[in-house]
C-alpha cells in the first residue's frame, strides 16, 4: 500500500527496498506483554546491572531477518560465553600481545 500511495502522489521516488523482519519468539512461544511473556528490560538490568550491551548483542545476533527465530536464555548464555567472552576476549588478548 505504501509504494502505491507514493506512486499516486507522483513527486516521490519509490523505495527500491523496504526492510522488514520476521517474528522473534521467546522460549518457543509468542512474545506477549498481556500474558507477561517478554524480556522486561528493567528486570534484566536489576538481575544483570551494567550488562545491557550483552543483551543488545544477543538480540542483534539473533535478529529474525529471513525466518522466524527463537530467543532462549540458554542461547543467550551460550552466545555470551562462546562469542563475546571466548572469541572477542581471545582477539583482544592477541591484539594486546602483538602491540607490546
pLDDT of 62: 92
Cell of 60: 542483534
- 3-state class of 26 per DSSP? strand
pLDDT of 78: 94
Residue 87 to residue 80: CA distance in whole angstroms:
10
Residue 10 to residue 97: CA distance in whole angstroms:
60
pLDDT of 100: 82
pLDDT of 31: 95
**Per-domain residue ranges for the chain?**
21-99
pLDDT of 20: 84
Residue 70 to residue 53: CA distance in whole angstroms:
19
What are the contacts of 62-66 at 24+ separation with CB within 8 A? 62/24, 63/21, 63/24, 64/21, 64/22, 64/23, 64/24, 65/21, 65/22, 66/22
Residues of the chain whose pLDDT is less than 50? none
Judge contact between 15 and 3, C-beta under 8 A.
yes
Amino acid at each position: 500500500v505504501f509504494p502505491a500511495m507514493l506512486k499516486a502522489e507522483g513527486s516521490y521516488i519509490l523505495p527500491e527496498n523496504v526492510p522488514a523482519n520476521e517474528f522473534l519468539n521467546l522460549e518457543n512461544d509468542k512474545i506477549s506483554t498481556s500474558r507477561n511473556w517478554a524480556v522486561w528490560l528493567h528486570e534484566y538490568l536489576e538481575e544483570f546491572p551494567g550488562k545491557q550491551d550483552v543483551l543488545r548483542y544477543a538480540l542483534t545476533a539473533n535478529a529474525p531477518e529471513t525466518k522466524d527465530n527463537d530467543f532462549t536464555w540458554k542461547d543467550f548464555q551460550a552466545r555470551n560465553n562462546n562469542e563475546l567472552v571466548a572469541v572477542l576476549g581471545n582477539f583482544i588478548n592477541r591484539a594486546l600481545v602483538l602491540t607490546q
